[in-house]
Structures are given as C-alpha cells and as structure tokens.
Amino acid sequence: WIPVTTELTPIDHSMHKWEEITESERAFQLRLMEVYAGYLEHTDTQHGKLLDELEHQGIINNTLIIYILADNGASAEGQQGTLEELLTENGLPSTIDQQ
C-alpha cells in the first residue's frame, strides 16, 4: 500500500515500456525474471532451514535476526545494462539478437 500523498520518483523515459520492446527482448527479460524468482525461492528455503535449526536448538528466541536481501545496486553500464561485459568495456554495442 502506498499512501496517496507519497511523492514518487519521476518516470525514467530512457527505459522502454514492455509494449515497446521486441519479442526477443521480451523473451530474454522473461527468462531473467524466471531466474530471479528461482534465486528468491532458493534463498527463502535456505533462510527457512536456518530458522528451523535455531528453533531446533532452542535459541531462536534469544537470537537477533537481521535479514537484508538486495542486489549489488544499479548497473554500471546504465539503464540498458549489458549482456557481454567485455563488449561494453570496449565500447561495442550488444543486443539480445546478437546473443
């Protein structure tokens, strides 16, 4: 829930809307979403195992758990990111269709 009075960041018009990207780009982006969902599922399972073990040992109520889940920030390559880091480092374009 976001309060009505919340000031949202402006839309970044350099990022393409879903409807504006090619079918091959959509397929690629869908795959990235699948991979990230798998990562989250695996991470959640592992944290669950840790909590189960703390409970099993009887120390869960005496344990401070700080849960931080984040990626490593924005892409250094800009909004479009990169598919091939070496191409980007050498100033060469890289597209989904080239992969």
pLDDT tens for the chain, 99 residues long, are 899 999 999 988 888 899 998 898 899 889 888 998 999 999 999 999 999 999 999 999 999 999 888 776 656 555 566 667 777 778 777 777 665
Q: In Å, how far are 9, 69, 75, 92 from 2, measured between CA atoms?
A: 13, 21, 26, 41
> Which pLDDT does position 86 carry in this prediction?
76
pLDDT at 28: 85
The pLDDT score that the predictor gives to residue 57 is 98
Of 81, 59, 63, 64, which is closest to residue 72 (Cα–Cα)?
A: 81
pTM beyond 0.75: no
